[in-house]
């Protein structure tokens, strides 16, 4: 499909979410978005399959006691993968606790991704190596880090954009509004991707927001806004790609659904009914891209099996590294509080050493 | 002191192109206390600039800028105005180095004009040091003199860790020679306390706005025959046990003075540390002279709240209950 020019970004999001693929996988002919190239679509599919398998594996590891907790992003693969693969090498990702699939898509190792949830340490990777900030547990605080980071890039004359991920609940936090305002005033190259999965733990959208959409929240800050079908990986990829290319702030609301509970510790049946979950299962983002690729002759049985085998291998690797017992060094407690260890921490480190001797 | 801080900011901006100064009203106005006067004109509004009125936004974006290699110096305008930024300060600024196992350090300075004594209305006179000193990962410093204001601020900006820089606003207009120049100026060290006045009978432990009050008290006490030593903490966190305890071991008596409420306050930590380390040298309990355990009072009542020379003298008198021991301590 011929690539058309990216549409002009406007403050007012569309009434209906932008899409490139219908729920049955057939293409939307009159979409204002340009369809990603075939090789990109094939890669998006591959990473979604690997991401989903990784997510399932992480959930299983929780049941085995290897992870303290795991917030699944099953059903949100189009957002996780579509957005991350739209970033350029030099761009930065500021993820939340639910964005583990985004991390592995960015190249962070399974162990690095899961260290936080495993309890070995608060972070298992070097942010500078992958250009990925620490997964943020407080809601919306990472939006401001992304704005500051992007502004600094501009001050330094670097062509770097920051993509910050947040959920629907986080749009109610004050920091989201301060970040949108700062980004609007500074014209910072930052992309806010709101994954609206319907619930902030148990609180539904109807109790979270009175605006026509979460994307509408950009209007008051002068930040161009896009509403996109979050289960359409081609569309998510296209809007993030265009937002990064715009060089300014963009707010994207991706409409999606969290198939699993908030975390393994949550009982989702207390606040949503099974018919709703079933309806969203029928809009599966992986099935959709598979149907499209198959119809285009870009995915056959052999390719499908090869991708599935690769995903299995990734899951097996994840299991292997996570099944090793972790024994963090207690001495490290005192090493990273300040650049140099002050006297009172040296005393406490010595006391702990003695206690352990 | 405001002039010394201004000079420190100017010299730091000159020395390092990565240093940025921003906050509310710090640009054209030069800050409500004029600490940033003339800096925007001299260094341009890319390096010294006004932000939207949003404290969490100021600290949160400073964190992102520091992650990207800059050295932000931000202003909170007034002590209690910093509270919207509390989450960014405690959950992210203080912990980033630890969370990332040393990979991401945040050289951010947060300047907070703090304390009372200027007739300010409510929310303009808090002493919020205990909130910050209770947070591992933050350095908390406060100057007592103009000269130290310059030196401490240069050191704070050079520091690879986040620093809460508490400026005693009632001392902004204090006069004093600034002898320091450059960050490498000879000094006690960034995290060291200083003996401001030597004495043998009692140690007054003070910081920020109370250093001047303690020195005044020492002069008054001298007329009553008490030889008072004054220790200026300078760095509240980390705490310089060595200098403080050496002084208390010499004098055997100590009073901690601060403006903030006493209950759960910073002075309690100082008393605990001194007691734990110097118990066998003490001739009397370590006392505190602090603000009352009430919200900061309205301007017409603040003189009753703030530790006065008389109140500190009373505390010194209460320590002198055993003349015989005082005599032996002097011997």
Question: Could you give the CA distance from residue A114 to residue A59 in angstroms, rounded to a whole number?
Answer: 11
Give 10-residue mean pLDDT values along chain A (357 residues): 55 94 96 97 98 97 93 97 98 98 98 94 96 96 98 96 98 97 98 96 94 96 97 98 96 96 88 94 97 98 98 98 91 95 96 95
Element (H, E) at A92: strand A92-94
Q: Which of chain A's residues have a Cβ under 8 Å away from the Cβ of B97?
A: 336-339
| pLDDT of the residue at B329 | 41
Name the more confident of B321 and B295: B295
Quick check: helix, strand or coil at residue A167? strand
Question: Could you give the CA distance from residue A145 to residue A190 in angstroms, rounded to a whole number?
Answer: 10
Question: Could you give the CA distance from residue B298 to residue B125 in angstroms, rounded to a whole number?
Answer: 10
Q: What is the interface pTM, i.e. ipTM, of the complex?
A: 0.94
Nearest by CB: A152 against B69, B96, B101:
B69
Query: Could A174 and B56 be called an inter-chain contact, meaning their C-beta atoms sit closer than 8 Å?
Result: yes
B260/A contact by beta carbon, under 8 A: no
| pLDDT of the residue at B328 | 45
Catalytic site residue from B124, B258, B283, B305: B124
Query: Could A127 and B69 be called an inter-chain contact, meaning their C-beta atoms sit closer than 8 Å?
Result: no
B293/A contact by beta carbon, under 8 A: no
Cβ neighbors of B310 (< 8 A, separation 6 or more) are: none
Question: Could you give the CA distance from residue B172 to residue B234 in angstroms, rounded to a whole number?
Answer: 16
Query: Could B64 and A152 be called an inter-chain contact, meaning their C-beta atoms sit closer than 8 Å?
Result: yes
> How far is B69 from chain A, CA to nearest CA, in Å?
8
Residue from B44, B60, B155 to probe the interface with A (highest A Cβ count within 10 Å): B60
**Looking at the DSSP assignment, which residues form a beta bridge with residue A191?**
A163, A250
Query: Could B52 and A336 be called an inter-chain contact, meaning their C-beta atoms sit closer than 8 Å?
Result: no
| pLDDT of the residue at B325 | 46
Query: Could B60 and A141 be called an inter-chain contact, meaning their C-beta atoms sit closer than 8 Å?
Result: yes
| pLDDT of the residue at B182 | 58
> How far is B113 from chain A, CA to nearest CA, in Å?
23
Residue from A151, A182, A336, A348 to probe the interface with B (highest B Cβ count within 10 Å): A336
B104/A contact by beta carbon, under 8 A: yes
Percent of chain B with pLDDT over 90: 91
Residue from A122, A143, A152, A162 to probe the interface with B (highest B Cβ count within 10 Å): A152
> How far is B234 from chain A, CA to nearest CA, in Å?
15
Residue from A135, A178, A187 to probe the interface with B (highest B Cβ count within 10 Å): A178
> How far is B100 from chain A, CA to nearest CA, in Å?
6
| pLDDT of the residue at A1 | 41
**pLDDT-based confidence at B327, cuts 50/70/90?**
very low
Instruction: Convert B89-127 to b/e letters by CB count within 10 Å (16 or more is b).
Output: bbbbbbbbbbbbbebbbbbbbbbbbbbbbbebeeebbbb
Closest CA in chain A for residue B51: A182
Percent of chain B with pLDDT over 70: 94
Residue B184 clears pLDDT 90, i.e. is over it: no
Q: Please identify among residues 185-224 of chain A the ones whose CB lies closer than 8 Å to any CB of chain B.
A: 185
Query: Could A144 and B57 be called an inter-chain contact, meaning their C-beta atoms sit closer than 8 Å?
Result: yes
**pLDDT-based confidence at B320, cuts 50/70/90?**
confident
Residue B186 clears pLDDT 90, i.e. is over it: no
CB atoms within 10 A of CB A321: 14
| pLDDT of the residue at B176 | 86
Residue B324 clears pLDDT 60, i.e. is over it: no
Query: Could B139 and A338 be called an inter-chain contact, meaning their C-beta atoms sit closer than 8 Å?
Result: yes
pLDDT (tens digit per residue) in B98-143: 999 999 999 999 999 999 999 999 999 999 999 999 999 999 999 9
Question: Could you give the CA distance from residue A144 to residue B55 in angstroms, rounded to a whole number?
Answer: 11
3-state per-residue secondary structure call for chain B = CHHHHHHHHHHHHHHCCCEEEEECCCCCCCCCCCCCCCHHHHHCCCCEEECCCCHHHHHHHHHHHHHCCCEEEEECCCHHHHHHHHHHHHHHHCCHHHHCCCCCCCCCEEEEEECCCCCCCCCCCCCCHHHHHCCCCCEEECCCCHHHHHHHHHHHHHCCCCEEEEEEHHHCCCCCCCCCCCCCCCCCCCCCCEEEECCCCEEEEECCCHHHHHHHHHHHHHHCCCCEEEEECCEEECCCHHHHHHHHHHHCCEEEEEEEECCCCHHHHHHHHHHHHHHHHCCCCCEEEEECCCCCCCHHHHHHHCCCHHHHHHHHHHHCCCHHHHHHHHC
B36-40 mean pLDDT: 97
Residue from A115, A116, A338 to probe the interface with B (highest B Cβ count within 10 Å): A338
Active site residue B305: no
Q: Which of chain B's residues have a Cβ under 8 Å away from the Cβ of A151?
A: 61, 64-65
| pLDDT of the residue at B323 | 54
User: How far apart, in Å, are the Cα atoms of A35 and each of A19, A229, A289?
Assistant: 10, 14, 12
Q: Which of chain B's residues have a Cβ under 8 Å away from the Cβ of A175?
A: 56-57, 60, 87-88
Q: Which of chain B's residues have a Cβ under 8 Å away from the Cβ of A126?
A: 100, 103
Q: Which of chain B's residues have a Cβ under 8 Å away from the Cβ of A338?
A: 97, 137, 139, 161, 238
Q: Please identify among residues 35-54 of chain B the ones whose CB lies closer than 8 Å to any CB of chain A.
A: 46, 51-52, 54
Query: Could B99 and A128 be called an inter-chain contact, meaning their C-beta atoms sit closer than 8 Å?
Result: no
Q: Which of chain B's residues have a Cβ under 8 Å away from the Cβ of A326?
A: none
A165 neighbors A134 (Cβ within 8 angstroms): no
B85/A contact by beta carbon, under 8 A: no
Nearest by CB: B191 against A141, A185, A342:
A342
A141/B contact by beta carbon, under 8 A: yes
Nearest by CB: B64 against A146, A185, A335:
A146
Say which DSSP state A191 is in.
E
B270 neighbors B228 (Cβ within 8 angstroms): no
Tell me the count of A-B CB pairs closer than 8 A.
Answer: 135
Q: Please identify among residues 53-92 of chain A the ones whose CB lies closer than 8 Å to any CB of chain B.
A: none
> How far is B278 from chain A, CA to nearest CA, in Å?
16
């Amino acid at each position: 499909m011929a690539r058309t020019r990216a549409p002009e970004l406007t403050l007012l999001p569309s009434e209906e979410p932008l899409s490139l693929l219908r729920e049955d996988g057939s293409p939307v002919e009159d979409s204002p978005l340009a369809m990603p190239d075939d090789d990109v679509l094939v890669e998006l599919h591959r990473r979604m399959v690997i991401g989903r398998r990784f997510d399932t594996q992480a959930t299983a590891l929780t049941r085995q006691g290897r992870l303290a907790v795991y917030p699944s992003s099953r059903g949100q693969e189009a957002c996780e993968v579509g957005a991350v693969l739209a970033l350029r090498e030099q761009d930065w990702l500021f993820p939340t606790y639910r964005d583990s699939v985004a991390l592995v898509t960015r190249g962070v190792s399974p162990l690095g991704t899961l260290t936080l949830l495993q309890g070995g340490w608060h972070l298992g990777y070097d942010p500078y190596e992958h250009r990925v900030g620490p997964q943020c547990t407080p809601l919306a605080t990472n939006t401001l880090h992304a704005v500051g980071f992007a502004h600094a890039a501009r001050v330094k004359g670097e062509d770097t954009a920051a993509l910050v991920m947040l959920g629907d609940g986080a749009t109610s936090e004050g920091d989201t509004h301060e970040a949108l305002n700062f980004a609007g005033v500074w014209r910072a190259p930052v992309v806010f991707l709101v994954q609206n999965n319907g619930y902030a733990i148990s609180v539904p959208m109807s109790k979270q927001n009175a605006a026509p959409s979460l994307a509408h929240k950009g209007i008051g800050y002068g930040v161009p806004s896009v509403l996109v079908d979050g289960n359409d990986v081609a569309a998510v990829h296209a809007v993030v790609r265009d937002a990064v290319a715009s060089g300014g702030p963009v707010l994207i609301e991706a409409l999606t659904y969290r198939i699993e509970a908030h975390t393994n510790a949550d009982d989702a049946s207390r606040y949503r009914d099974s018919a709703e979950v079933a309806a969203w299962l029928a809009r599966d983002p992986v099935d959709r891209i598979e149907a499209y690729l198959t119809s285009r002759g870009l995915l056959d049985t052999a390719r499908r099996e090869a991708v599935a085998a690769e995903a299995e291998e990734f899951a097996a690797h994840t299991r292997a590294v996570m099944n090793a017992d972790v024994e963090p060094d207690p001495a490290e407690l005192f090493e990273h509080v300040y650049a140099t260890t002050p006297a009172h921490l040296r005393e406490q480190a010595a006391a702990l050493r003695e206690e352990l001797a | 002191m405001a002039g010394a801080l201004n000079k420190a900011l100017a010299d730091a901006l000159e020395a390092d192109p990565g240093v940025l100064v921003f906050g509310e009203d710090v640009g054209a106005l030069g800050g409500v206390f004029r600490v940033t006067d003339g800096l925007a004109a001299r260094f341009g509004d890319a390096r010294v600039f006004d932000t939207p009125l949003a404290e969490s936004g100021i600290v949160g974006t400073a964190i992102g800028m520091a992650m990207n290699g800059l050295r932000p110096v931000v202003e909170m305008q007034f002590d209690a105005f910093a509270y919207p930024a509390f989450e960014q300060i405690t959950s992210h600024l203080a912990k980033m180095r630890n969370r990332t196992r040393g990979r991401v350090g945040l050289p951010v300075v947060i300047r907070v004009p703090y304390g009372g004594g200027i007739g300010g209305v409510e929310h303009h006179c808090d002493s919020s040091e205990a909130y910050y000193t209770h947070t591992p990962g933050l350095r908390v410093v406060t100057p007592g003199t103009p000269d130290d204001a310059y030196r401490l601020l240069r050191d704070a900006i050079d520091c690879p860790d986040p620093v809460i820089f508490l400026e005693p606003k009632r001392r902004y207009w204090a006069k004093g020679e600034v002898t320091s120049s450059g960050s490498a100026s000879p000094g006690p060290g960034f995290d060291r306390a200083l003996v401001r006045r030597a004495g043998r009978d009692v140690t007054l432990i003070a910081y920020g706005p109370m250093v001047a009050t303690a020195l005044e008290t020492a002069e008054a006490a001298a007329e009553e025959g008490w030889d008072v030593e004054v220790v200026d903490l300078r760095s509240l966190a980390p705490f310089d046990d060595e200098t403080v305890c050496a002084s208390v071991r010499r004098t055997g008596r100590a009073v901690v003075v601060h403006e903030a409420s006493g209950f759960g306050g910073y002075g309690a930590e100082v008393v605990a540390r001194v007691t734990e380390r110097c118990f066998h040298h003490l001739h009397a309990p370590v006392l505190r002279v602090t603000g009352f355990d009430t919200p900061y009072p309205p301007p017409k009542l603040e003189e009753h709240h703030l530790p006065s020379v008389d109140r500190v003298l009373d505390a010194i008198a209460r320590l002198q209950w055993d003349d015989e021991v005082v005599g032996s301590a002097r011997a």
